[in-house]
Structure 1
């Protein structure tokens, strides 16, 4: 019986050590999991944006062939339509990952961006032909892109202001057009 207090002290110490270690390991596991998810989200958002930018670039080149302003490097429609279909397939594949890892606001912003791109493609495909509509569609697409990046940055916990706006026509083009 004389050793009972010492034995109780050892048991309490062992339990305390076990609880502390368990809590620390659980905390470390959660932190590591959160870091992995943040990295995966970053990769997913970046891959999606790159796929969409490829689609935009092909559409702009097709529009350049049709004579629309703010675009260069015209692309023949026969070659361009195949490239556009391929770019859309790539975007769709990346979209599924955005749906899996994105928060609701970022997914909505990503959807608005690709819908704005589809609208721009109406001019690229020759289904619309007015320059004012083209310029307005580019502006809406730029606004949707800005919103996506703002939402993605917020979801990733990135601090600081968002990147500069991609508004069209760009300031240097507006100056050129006013002369």
Structure 2
């Protein structure tokens, strides 16, 4: 058998090998990209959740200090000396978590996270005794709740979580309004 007689079979083998390699390469690259995207999505979720939990702990300390200072709609007063130390520690933890949000978050979620912690700082002015207006405290608490909702809305969108944001837990709650009347 002459070489020329075997050439079509040889070309078929070469084309089949190249096609098989290309298909396997594309499939493997697609798998790798998908795995990488899933890993980043999980990292974003953990970063956003960690930041929110850290900020919520800071908020709770500020609210307890607010209760000590006599502000409405908060309970469980915290001794001022202990509370100020806890508040400083909570702010340090928040600042450390913030760096991860800056690194991994999209622009809208980072802006919402910044607005939320700035609203918390405003509440802290009351908790620290630097402001003493009860109506201002309530406005600051309301703004903080709105900023929180915006952060969660942006984070959910960035994470691809469908559906509307659950109803807000703004204060004072309806059951508190009834008891205040």
Q: TM-score range by the shorter chain?
A: over 0.9
Equivalent position SS for 1:3: helix
1:159 equivalent to 2:181? Answer: no
Following superposition, the deviation at residue 173 of structure 1 comes to 1.8
Between structure 1 and structure 2, the one with the greater Rg is 2
> Tell me, what secondary structure is at the counterpart of 1:159?
coil
Aligned to 2:102: 99
**How much is the aligned-residue C-alpha RMSD, in angstroms?**
0.7
> Paired residue for 1:12?
15
Query: Which residue of the other structure, out of 122, 126, 134, is the alignment partner of 1:123?
Result: 126
TM-score normalised by the chain length of structure 1: 0.98
Cα deviation, 1:55-93, whole Å, max 9, x if unaligned, reads 000000000000001111100110000000000000000
Instruction: Report the count of equivalent residues.
Output: 178
- Cα deviation for residue 161 of structure 1 reads 1.3
Shift of 1:151: 0.3
Is 1:55 aligned to 2:58, yes or no?
A: yes
Structure 2 residues not aligned, in runs of 5+: none
Which TM-score applies when normalising by structure 2? 0.97
Consecutive unaligned residues of structure 1, counting only runs of 5 or more, are: none
Aligned-pair CA distance for 1:170: 1.7
The match for 1:113 is 116
Do 1:145 and 1:166's aligned partners in 2 also have CA atoms closer than 8 Å? no
Given that 1:116 and 1:140 are in contact with CA atoms closer than 8 Å, whether structure 2 keeps it comes out as yes
